Amino acid sequence: TVQLVESGGGSVQAGGSLRLSCAASGVTYSSYCMGWFRQAPGKAREGVATIYVGAGSTYYADSVKGRLTITQDNAKNTIYLQMNSLEPEDTAMHYCAADPTVWRSFCSPRRTNFANWGQGTQVTVSS
């Protein structure tokens, strides 16, 4: 069973930075798709960034390009989301997801039907 544990959320002022972490356990594949998604109150869940762990290929939603960076630490089975120049519109519950069955070519933030999800970590940006 794949388990995902997020951390690093919090409250910051606009223009600030946060780094989210997602530690994965129970994954037996050497390469698989992981990603960060967010959901604001009253809005649908949206993909932010994905990474094909192992190869390190990254994919971003257009709305966050240049401000958010997804990275991996293979030794720790952990991915990160570095968030800079945060805006009030980034306020949302942020979730980590993983799916070992998703091929690299389909590892996109537009894909929301991942098999495994974390419990989420809240990011709040004040103006």
pLDDT at 74: 87
Residues 100-121, mean pLDDT to the nearest whole number? 93
Q: Which of 83-92, 104-113, 115-124 has the lowest mean pLDDT?
A: 104-113
Residues 10-26, mean pLDDT to the nearest whole number? 97
- The residue to which tokens 């980590």 are assigned: 96
pLDDT at 31 over 90: no
Give DSSP secondary structure letters for 54-81: TTTEEEE-GGGTTTEEEEEEGGGTEEEE
Q: Which of 33, 49, 29, 34 is nearest to 90 (CA)?
A: 49
pLDDT at 55: 87
Q: What are the tens digits of pLDDT across the range 57-98?
A: 999 999 888 999 999 998 899 999 999 999 999 999 999 999
DSSP designation for 2: -
Angle, vertex CA 104, rays to CA 76 and CA 65, nearest 5: 80
What's the whole-number average pLDDT of the chain? 94
Element (H, E) at 117: strand 116-117
With contact defined as beta carbons under 8 Å apart, do 11 and 33 qualify? no
